[in-house]
Structure 1
């Protein structure tokens, strides 16, 4: 971001770093390095991921639609980061970043909701899911994201705006937890769903929740706890988390890619089985040793 993740004319948003001029040299160096890595690696990866996910779109299959929109919002964030690093400081860049950031949160909720409906409400979802409905939902998400940015455009009181964004970013957190718990409960009773598909669905929901918890929750805490805004370490950590969120979202492509996800899950299960076999063989040897000695 421009001058160590500082917004121009937006002083109190949760990713703002007002004390960049007073920050330690090491913190500035780490921030600068992280931003360059995210921009240089994120832009090509994001373009490849968008093309790859687009190829997965089939009729009556809406999950890739939400993931593509999520990746597009991440791409906008990366472009804004690149513009800030290039020295551009227009307000439109800041507003575009906020729009994309808010949109990414909305599409994360849509992805979790879609996976929940597939398992918990299969009959209802079977008759409702289609590309047209998915595109309408995406339009609603972008509209709500645009509406959440409007207070900044009209220079509303910063405290009011902070409360709005704190609510916008905090609300999805319990919703994502609910979708994960309820989906796991529904999967336990879904005997017709293959085991590999169950693991893939749960993995996608866990990835979404982890990304949101690790990368967005620090900024929510930053917005709600005023004392942390003067903590340089926590302030920089919150900025780094948001910078890394576009790269983390690319992992969702592997969660919906059957071949890649199945290989990963099979390798994990294979390693676990090997470990269990070693433990069992060791236990057998230990128990049989005393018997041979007595004979």
Structure 2
């Protein structure tokens, strides 16, 4: 498992190129740019994620438990940001780096399955409101979160002690790919339920669809290239795309807090509509 991510990192020792001077200079410049971008992401993402966790914690109540899943999602982002700090830190001991590596990979697995939890919760609210109303509690949500963390921890320990250079990447790719059809199913099912529902307020419809679409994008952009990287490790462009989106993903997760707040989507649509009206007024000739 360790070798998997070494092939997908931006560190100098992860590349095995020939002694081509121009190519070495290009790789050095690229690594420097990625390091600077990583430092910027950590500097912006760390306080932003902490603020989002605190704000979401204040939103948790008995009839609104989805922030619990989002908080756990943001905790995985904190783990990712800590690993990014280790990546750019100079002279890191190899054992310490490997420990953070496995913790980071575990956080990635946990992250995608908390996305599924959020999508499932939104789907049940719209498609099966009566069933969900009598079963949603903070206690049940906390139990689900503990189970997700425990299962991923067991899988991480298994991968740490039993690593196979051929089988392990395939297993990891399958585990990362499993949430993809679930996210699509929950989005499509929610859209069908919303089209037939008349009791759900329009602002709640827009907020739910916005959350599900954002989750699908947050999953698709970073993890599909990363799955390709697990299966085909010699594609340099796939490595760069995967690493770029994975490092930006903590910032994207913080946007979920915006969608969790009531009225935010309406204000966004209102501002867009106002901008369009203003542009039409300016472009229309005066009589």
TM-score (norm 2): 0.87
Length, aligned pairs only: 272
Does residue 126 of the first structure (1) align with residue 129 of the second (2)? no
Partner of 1:95: 102
Pairwise CA RMSD: 2.3
Q: 1:252 aligns with which of 237, 249, 256?
A: 256
Give yes or no for the alignment of 1:153 onto 2:153.
Answer: no
Partner deviation per Cα, 1:261-280 (whole Å, 9 max, x = no partner): 3311222344456678899x
- What is the distance in 1 between the residues matched to 2:187 and 2:79? 28
Q: Conserved in 1, the CA contact under 8 Å of 2:110 and 2:152? A: yes
1:20 is aligned, of 15, 24, 27, to 15
Q: How far has the Cα of 1:155 moved from its partner?
A: 3.6
Check whether the contact 1:14–1:219 (CA below 8 A) recurs between aligned residues: no
Gaps of 5+ in 2: 18-23
Q: Are the equivalent residues in 2 in contact too, given 1:99–1:145 (CA < 8 A)? A: yes
Q: Secondary structure at the match of 2:2?
A: coil
Which segment drifts farther, 251-260 or 103-112? 251-260
Contact 2:65 2:137 (8 Å CA) reproduced:
yes
CA pair 129-236 structure 1, distance change in 2 beyond 3 A? same
Match of 1:86 among 82, 86, 89: 89
Separation (CA, whole Å) in 2 of partners of 1:137 and 1:14:
32
Bigger drift between 36-45 and 18-27 goes to 18-27
Task: Sort the Cα spacing of 1:269 and 1:119 in 2 relative to 1 into closer, same or farther, 3 A.
Answer: farther
Partners of 2:187 and 2:193 in 1: CA distance: 10
Shift of 1:21: 6.0
The equivalent residue for 2:21 is none
Q: 1:234 to 1:109 in 2, by over 3 A?
A: same
**What does residue 292 of structure 1 align with?**
none
TM-score (norm: length of structure 1): 0.85
1:178 is aligned to 2:185: yes
Choose 1 or 2 for highest CA Rg: 1
Corresponding position of 1:5: none
| CA distance in structure 2 between the partners assigned to 1:159 and 1:189 by the alignment | 47
Q: 1:80 to 1:38 in 2, by over 3 A?
A: same
Does 92-101 or 261-270 show the bigger shift? 261-270
Match of 2:58 among 55, 60, 69: 55
- Hey, what's the Cα distance between the residues in 1 that align with 2:234 and 2:171? 21
Partners of 2:223 and 2:246 within 8 A in 1: yes
Using the TM superposition, give the Cα deviation of residue 140 of structure 1 relative to its aligned residue in structure 2, in angstroms.
Answer: 1.4
8 Å Cα contact 2:8/2:229 also seen in 1: no
